[in-house]
């Protein structure tokens, strides 16, 4: 877990361009954005994937999702945005600390 890049961003060991932070959740800009605005919402606690979540994570996951429109609006995505959660290797997940991608702006983004 201590090799986890996102845990290191949480504690400030490696930099992240922060969009939002509270005691449970952090949001920061993706280092390789695939739209004009692209940020990630993560829990501060290490949870590897969406598939590792249980009923005890229901409130936290709801909080993360509800932050998406609020932060997207603050980032100027007034026309809308996309959200994406990659889960597991087969789901294209590269960083095994759960995160919600929020992105949009510029030309319409298509990603299947
Ligand atoms: P995944 O494929 O796991 O859903 O997406 C991981 C995302 O994390 C990728 O979009 C990648 O660009 C981003 N990422 C990986 N390492 C770093 C980092 O050190 N800092 C930031 N800000 N983003 C990162
Ligand atoms: Zn982590």
pLDDT in tens, the chain (112 residues): 579 999 999 999 999 899 999 999 999 999 999 999 999 999 999 999 999 999 999 999 999 999 999 999 999 999 999 999 999 999 999 999 999 999 999 765 555 5
* pTM above threshold 0.85: yes
Distance between Cα 16 and ligand 1 center (Å): 10
5-104: which CATH topology?
HIT family, subunit A (3.30.428)
Say how far apart CA 98 and CA 53 lie, in whole Å. Answer: 9
Owner of token pair 């969009």: 19
pLDDT at site 16? 86
What mean pLDDT is reported for the chain? 94
pLDDT at site 55? 97
Query: Are the CB atoms for 95 and 14 separated by under 8 Å?
Result: no
pLDDT at site 111? 57
Instruction: Please name the residue whose Cα sits nearest to atom 20 of ligand 1.
Output: 31
The shares of helix, strand and coil residues in the chain, as percent rounded to the nearest 5, are 30, 20, 50
Is 99 a known active-site residue? yes
Distance between Cα 42 and ligand 1 center (Å): 11
Nearest to 79 by CA among 103, 61, 97: 103
Q: What is the phi/psi pair of residue 38, to 5°? A: -155, 110
Structure tokens at 17: 């361009």
């Amino acid at each position: 877990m201590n090799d986890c890049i996102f845990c290191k961003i949480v504690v400030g060991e490696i930099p992240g361009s922060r969009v939002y932070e509270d005691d449970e959740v952090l949001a920061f800009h993706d280092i390789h954005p695939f739209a004009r605005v692209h940020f990630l919402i993560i829990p501060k606690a290490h949870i590897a994937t969406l598939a590792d979540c249980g009923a005890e994570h229901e409130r936290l996951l709801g909080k993360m999702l509800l932050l998406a429109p609020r932060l997207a609006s603050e980032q100027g995505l007034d026309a809308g945005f996309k959200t994406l959660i990659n889960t597991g290797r087969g789901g294209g997940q590269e960083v095994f600390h759960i995160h919600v991608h929020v992105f949009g702006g510029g030309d319409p983004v298509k990603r299947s």
